[in-house]
Amino acid sequence: MPPLMSRFWYSIVFYIYCVVLAGIVLLPSYFDFADVCPAKSEAVVCLQTWVSALSGWAAFIGAVIAIPFVAAQVREARRQTEFIVGDAMPTANMHDPRETRVDNAYSTRLKIVNWNRHPILIRSIQLMEPTNVELFGVEVEDHDAGRRHILQQEHKRGRMYVPGWVDRSKMPTVAEFDLTFSTADPALIAIAQNDLVRCPITLKVEITIAGARHQTEALMVDRPDALVLAG
């Protein structure tokens, strides 16, 4: 559960318990138990009976309120278990390349990390938003030129192979791409500096986890300030 949501639920629970406690304390002052108590029954005994009856409902309300916390703990436990056994989902993110080569001066680096013990096949990289920007170029990044050429051909066929993370004593396998975005939108061109403008970008990376049963997944990647070539 996100921290903001956790604080929200904690606040809700705190206020509910405060209201319940205040109600129990102030109830005798504003409510005549003689009206609802059996005849010849002492007020104190009647109050105890009512509080005892209400405690069951209070416990029920508390259990209902606790459901989101329990569900969040179950999700976190399952996520940790999947990571330990090697069934964790691959992840993806975008950032500026660390290198300053001329050929990637306008590019954004897409990094896909395979945390799964099974290999994955990268099927496609699609630009989802914004509609006034297009994905102009996709180049596989690898320091080995020969390997980079092979991976580029695999990517063009929609079957780029990324080995699984089998040896946990080593770093997980990574696939990297240099992406070039461009726009012909006059509004973006007007605010561009040195033919570059930064825009929020959303990508969808379609992958197949090649386990005993192949599983197709979509990784959504957001970046609020990706470089876009304007003009």
Question: What pLDDT is stored for residue 148 in this prediction?
Answer: 84
Using the predicted structure, report yes or no on whether residue 85 has a pLDDT greater than 80: no
Q: What's the confidence (pLDDT) of residue 53?
A: 63
Helix (H) or strand (E) holding 217: strand 214-230
pLDDT at residue number 114: 95
What is the predicted pLDDT for the residue at 71?
74
Average pLDDT, the chain: 80
Q: Which pLDDT belongs to residue 104? A: 56
Q: Average the pLDDT over 6-25 and give the result.
A: 66
Q: Which position has the higher pLDDT, 20 or 43?
A: 20
Contacts 24+ apart (CB under 8 A), 143-151: 151/175
pLDDT band at 4 (very low <50, low <70, confident <90, very high): very low
150: pLDDT confidence band, cut at 50, 70 and 90? confident
pTM exceeds cut of 0.75: no
CA angle 219, 225, 227 (to 5 degrees): 95
Question: Is 184 or 70 the better-scoring residue by pLDDT?
Answer: 184
Summarize pLDDT for 22-75 with one digit per residue, the tens: 666 665 555 555 555 655 556 566 666 666 666 666 677 777 767 777 777 777
- pLDDT score for 200: 95
Q: Which of 143, 220, 95, 92 is nearest to 151 (CA)?
A: 143
Cα 114 to Cα 40, 137, 214, 215: the distances in Å are 75, 23, 15, 14
Q: Tens digits of per-residue pLDDT, 90-136?
A: 999 999 887 655 555 678 999 999 999 999 999 999 999 999 999 98
Task: Give the tokens for residue 216.
Answer: 């197709």
